[in-house]
Amino acid sequence: MTISLFVLAMSALLSLEERTQDRTLDQLQWLAGCWEMRRDDRITEEQWMAPRGGVMIGMSRTVRGDSLIELEQVRIESRGTDLFYVASPLRQATAEFKGAITPGGGVSFENLQHDFPTKISYRRQGADSLVASIEGHRGGRTRTIEYPYRRVACASPST
């Protein structure tokens, strides 16, 4: 009987932890979908899958004309009550940034040991736009780069 109560209590705690993880990640549901930023002859696309299984999976690519400039696979993971941004840029080592939901429903991630950036943030601006930003030190100065995205329809293959 004691073992049964212990198993029941542990199951309840694990279930509560999973619900807490899902609620934290669910606050980023607005990020799911396709986003685009155009600057001069560059197009940056970012796409996020909806939260499921404690993770949001994303990708980003930047092209200039027909040339790939940047490519990155990313995910936002729930680990306990913490969020982590895991970035795998093309030709670079994977980096993790610990984060939290910010006031107003945005999210910010930090890794002070990373070279650049040390901070990555997303903040919603209305229903159809967001601003992503990266921040860190370069050349002895703090540098912030903002990426204003607008929501776009996700591309589907031609039939």
Please state the rounded mean pLDDT for residues 67-72: 97
Average pLDDT across the chain, whole number: 88
Q: Could you tell me what percent of the chain has a pLDDT over 90?
A: 75
Mean pLDDT lowest among 8-12, 84-88, 125-129, 144-148: 8-12
Please state the rounded mean pLDDT for residues 142-146: 96
* Cα atoms found within 13 Å of the Cα of residue 157, Cβ hemisphere only: 1
Domains and CATH numbers, the chain: 2-152 (2.40.128.20)
The answer, yes or no, to whether residue 78 has pLDDT greater than 60, is yes
Q: How confident is the model at residue 105 (pLDDT cuts 50, 70, 90)?
A: confident
The answer, yes or no, to whether residue 24 has pLDDT greater than 90, is no
The answer, yes or no, to whether residue 21 has pLDDT greater than 50, is no
The answer, yes or no, to whether residue 114 has pLDDT greater than 60, is yes
Task: Report which of 74, 34, 78 is spatially closest to residue 58, judged by C-alpha positions.
Answer: 74
The 10 Å Cβ neighbour count of residue 26 is 14
**Amino acid 1: pLDDT:** 52
Q: What is the reported pTM?
A: 0.83
Residue 59 CA: distances (Å) to CA of 19, 34, 62, 127, 139:
26, 10, 10, 21, 28
Please state the rounded mean pLDDT for residues 49-78: 97
The sign of the CA dihedral 78, 126, 70, 97 is negative
The sign of the CA dihedral 17, 20, 26, 27 is negative
CA distance 54 to 108: 17
CA angle in degrees (0–180, nearest 5) for 30-102-34: 25
Please state the rounded mean pLDDT for residues 9-38: 71
